[in-house]
Amino acid sequence: MNLTESNHKFSAKDNSRGFSGYSLRLSGFKDPKKGFLVKDNCIVGAEIFVSKSMLEKQVNQTVNLTSKRKCKSQVQCLKDEA
């Protein structure tokens, strides 16, 4: 099975994966007539291209990583949150 070319822009608000309406159930995946599994092997290929968005401005991410909490280490802060 081949999926045709798709162009999808990911964002924090969008949780789709770029192929709306496409799903494959496990029973269809295991069906030998469909050709996904051949001799108990499955080969999956993907081409992914990443481009910068013209709509977003670059920010220094370290500026946004501030906290009001005072911890002796990042590990201690993570343990406190758990």
Concatenate the DSSP letters of all residues of the chain into one string.
--PPP-----BTTB---S-TT----HHHHH-TTTTS-BTTB------------SSSPP--HHHH---S---SSHHHHHHHH-
Check if the beta carbon of residue 42 is closer than 8 Å to that of residue 36: yes
Question: What pLDDT was estimated at residue 31?
Answer: 84
pTM over 0.85: no
| 59 in a structural domain | no
| 81 in a structural domain | no
| 66 in a structural domain | no
Question: What pLDDT was estimated at residue 22?
Answer: 58
pLDDT, average across residues 71-79 = 61
| 2 in a structural domain | yes
Instruction: List the domain range (segments joined by +) for residue 21.
Output: 1-52
Question: What pLDDT was estimated at residue 32?
Answer: 80
| 15 in a structural domain | yes
Instruction: Please tell me the total count of domains within the chain.
Output: 1
* Average pLDDT for the chain: 66
| 37 in a structural domain | yes
User: In this predicted model, which residue has the larger pLDDT, 40 or 16?
Assistant: 40
pLDDT beyond 70 at 81: no
